[in-house]
Chain A
Amino acid sequence: MTVMEQRGAYRPTPPPAWQPRTDPAPLLPDAEPYRVLGTGRADAADPELLRRLYAELVKGRRYNAQATALTKQGRLAVYPSSTGQEACEVAAALVLEEQDWLFPSYRDTLAVVARGVDPVETLTLLRGDWHTGYDPYEHRVAPLSTPLATQLPHAVGLAHAARLKGDDVVALAMVGDGGTSEGDFHEALNFAAVWRAPVVFFVQNNGFAISVPLAKQTAAPSLAHKAVGYGMPGRLVDGNDAAAVHEVLADAVRHARAGGGPTLVEAITYRVEAHTNADDATRYRGDAEVEIWKGHDPVALLEQELTRRGLLDDDRIAAVRQDAETMAADLRARMNQDPALDPMDLFAHVYAEPTSQLLEQREQLRAELAAEAEDEAGAGSGPGGTQR
């Protein structure tokens, strides 16, 4: 039986006997975001997983701080911070198996790093020496997508292709609350549901699309409710509760892997920093709101839980922080080196083979660079240097 046939033939039914094609009730998200930390469920959480999440969260927080510092030093052109959203970023990477694929947006560099990609290669886009620094096939991470939600249909197509080939691959695609208003969000979810593609759509609802709050973005009961319209389950989770996010995403990945099709997960979180270093958040929100969310911090929540259960002592905290400092120092040192640029690369990858027009333009640039070098050599020889 083909994948297409597994969906079953469409049999129209006459109006008097009409029934919904799918029972919507099991698809509906819970009324409250799912929580683990600070609830009765916490005791059942795997200690090793919690420790691992904690180490990654601390490292992630440090990574965000370091990347933000690099913008101030002019080493990054721009940095969209995920400070406050580390639980989502880290969990998204940790729930995937080796052969799975991650489809990040521009705010998800931490998820990419947590997946195992070199932070320097991850930040290439934001440093500006190329658009993508890493090999997507090495860690199975798609290029960071800047146009909103456009990476979602890619995730669907890749997961569908893998399933057609009989491969065990799940794709996890990340998007923000603003991105759910894009047409590509709708089309991706619809295709995924129709094809029963093994995809997890992970929405981080961090409250703002740059300056626009969620109330101006949607009138839906929740973003997770949108799943029902496509015939897939929607899940709502506390995005600052790392154990809860991990559990909900892992469930969705398992469901997809087992052939159950896609899931839409909405994590309620908060963008503590401005949209990027170029944004001024005081123009659209008050400090009081930010302070409330800082009181629901993902790192602190997990630290409290680990301490309560006696899974964390001062030595362990110190070791985790030391690891994070080592990562930050290495990142700082390597980002402080100027990248090696070859302007001829501009023409190398437009097509498999450069067109004759590109070859002509490459020679033009080569000549311009040679003339520039000659000028500099002339200027360097002092007052006697020739004028051009």
Chain B
Amino acid sequence: MTTVAAKPATMAQALTRALRDAMAADPSVHVMGEDVGTLGGVFRITDGLAEEFGEDRCTDTPLAEAGILGTAVGMAMYGLRPVVEMQFDAFAYPAFEQLVSHVAKMRNRTRGRMPLPLTIRIPYGGGIGGVEHHSDSSEAYYMATPGLHVVTPATVPDAYGLLRAAIASDDPVVLLEPKRLYWSKDSWNPERPSAVEPLGRAVVRRSGRSATLITYGLSVPVCMEAAEAARAEGWDLEVVDLRSLVPFDDETVCASVRRTGRAVVVHESGGFGGPGGEIAARVTERCFHHLEAPVLRVAGFDLPYPPPMLERHHLPGVDRILDAVGRLQWEAES
């Protein structure tokens, strides 16, 4: 076997490759959604799949999200592994009843007799200059629904790995794709990609001793940048990329916070009722005696997603993260 060196690839390319590899490996994998066939999806993630595998395997559906997910449920009941594309975060809401009342509950309702192995891909988040309804961070809704796995990649290899693992999972998985990072590049060896298994493990992206930034998806690169900038202030920040919101990796997160004694949760989703509240509570309950300061949250404001010309004021950026780090009661150290 010839060795192929790692070279730059985009997250979009890794996702496409993951779909192609999964379809080639397993004839029960079917891709379906709006514009996924001839067009290759509005973000081109399904580019070439209809051509390679035929329209029966990569299907342009009518424009109806509840119908897409509802028929995917029936296909999964019959032993297929549908991979559904929801075109945008806010366009996935019509499918919410199918997701909550059937996708998430079918295994439990039938005592494990009717599992639903299906993957729901949803591009999410802002920062792309999108007009209204194209930039939501909807992860809190999905996290609050038992029976779903909720995962989100932040790197090119993880995009491939998480999507392969999601498709291989016998449980329904909501894969939130950070659309702002679709065209981000990373050094990647596509000849030896691998799934991220098991689903549900966080990873330390950057080791540090002063405080832990707990984050995921779109906010990971922002936190990495913040950690670099923090060096000038004398802070050595650790960055934990959750990768999976459900299941939640208490072990990796708490091990980090116990080491550093300080934590800030960072995400784009609104703070009130958002993922950060749950994460801060979990960390506080488990690491209270190791904490030097309250766990803080840096989140989007509690407002409907802003129009594109104002979104930069809403999104958590480096300065807002560093401000929060600065409020972690460092004076007690001196």
Q: Which positions in A face B, CB cutoff 8 Å? A: 2-5, 130-132, 135-137, 142-143, 147, 150, 152-162, 164-165, 171, 183-184, 186-188, 190-191, 194, 345, 348-352, 355-357
Contact = CB atoms under 8 A, between A and B. Distances in A.
Interface of B: 30, 54-56, 59, 61-62, 64, 66-67, 69-80, 82, 94, 97-98, 101-102, 105-115, 146-147, 149, 169-171, 200, 246-248, 250-251
A132 B110 contact: yes
Given A131-B108, A158-B78, A351-B149, A188 B70 contact: yes
B77 A188 contact: no
Contacts of A356: 247, 250-251
Contact of B67 (A3, A136, A190): A190
Contacts of A155: 74
Closest 7 A/B residue pairs (Cβ): A157-B74, A153-B70, A187-B67, A157-B71, A4-B55, A158-B74, A161-B78
Given A190-B62, A352-B171, A157 B246 contact: no
A158 to B, nearest CB: 4
Contact of B111 (A157, A162, A349): A349
A143 B71 CA distance: 15
Given A162-B78, A191-B61, A350 B147 contact: yes
A135 B247 contact: no
A164 B108 CA distance: 28
Nearest to A171: B74
Contacts of A143: 106, 109-110, 114
B67 A153 contact: yes
Contacts of A352: 107, 112, 115, 169-171
B109 A191 contact: no
Contacts of B70: 150, 152-154, 156-157, 184, 187-188
Contacts of A345: 111
A188 B248 contact: no
18 contacts: A2-B55, A3-B56, A4-B54, A136-B113, A143-B106, A147-B101, A154-B73, A154-B102, A160-B71, A161-B74, A171-B74, A184-B97, A187-B64, A190-B64, A348-B111, A349-B111, A349-B112, A357-B248
A118 to B, nearest CB: 15
A1 to B, nearest CB: 10
Nearest to B67: A187
A130 B111 contact: yes
Given A153-B67, A183-B94, A190-B64, A348 B112 contact: yes
Given A153-B74, A157-B71, A159-B74, A350 B56 contact: no
Given A157-B73, A345-B111, 11 more contacts: A4-B54, A4-B56, A132-B109, A132-B111, A153-B67, A154-B74, A157-B74, A191-B71, A349-B110, A355-B246, A356-B247
A349 B66 contact: no
Of B71, B80, B147, most buried by chain A (CB within 10 Å of CB) is B71
Contacts of A194: 62
A352 to B, nearest CB: 5
A136 B74 CA distance: 12
Nearest to A136: B114
A355 B78 contact: no
A164 B111 contact: no
B283 to A, nearest CB: 14
Contacts of B170: 352
A348 B112 CA distance: 8
Nearest to A187: B67
